Amino acid sequence: MSTIFQKIIDGEISADVVYEDSECIVIHDVAPQAPIHMLVIPKRLIPRVGLATEEDQQILGKLLLVAGKIANSENLDGGFRIVINNGADGGESVPHLHVHVLGGRAMKWPPG
């Protein structure tokens, strides 16, 4: 069964795409938790970071680099937060690894 992210990657569902290359796509979150809230999603399915393997090492690094570039392009010079949810207790709602980039306001701690 395809996740909603796979359907977006395959063009079956439209999304507000901010960036795309051969390995990942960046979209605006449909339920933003901050003024700027984007998702960096690998095109190859990795269900969650806790299931990543050694062969996923390169794409995991790329996701963080793209997240930083997106934050810079959004002028989040005052700071931003990167979040990766893992499993139900971690807040994961889609079983397809994705990196949240949140900014545009001061973040609070603890986050959850």
Domain ranges for the chain, please list them. Answer: 4-103
pLDDT at site 93: 94
In the DSSP assignment, the letter for residue 106 is P
pLDDT at site 38: 98
pLDDT at site 112: 64
Catalytic residue (choose from 28, 37, 96, 98): 98
Residues 72 and 103 sit within 8 Å (Cβ to Cβ): no
Length of the chain, please?
112
**What's the order of all strands across the beta sheet hosting 36-42?**
17-20, 24-28, 36-42, 99-103, 80-83
Sign of CA dihedral 90, 61, 46, 95: positive
pLDDT at site 111: 79
- pLDDT digits (tens), the chain, 112 positions: 799 999 999 999 999 999 999 999 999 999 999 999 999 999 999 999 999 999 999 999 999 999 999 999 999 999 999 999 999 999 999 999 999 999 999 999 987 6
98 is catalytic: yes
Residues 69 and 21 sit within 8 Å (Cβ to Cβ): no
Each residue of 35-67: pLDDT tens digit? 999 999 999 999 999 999 999 999 999 999 999
Annotate 48-68 with b (16+ C-beta within 10 A) or e (fewer).
Answer: bbeebeeebeebeeebeebbe
**What is the CATH number that goes with domain 4-103?**
3.30.428.10
Phi, psi values for residue 89, rounded to 5°: -70, -20
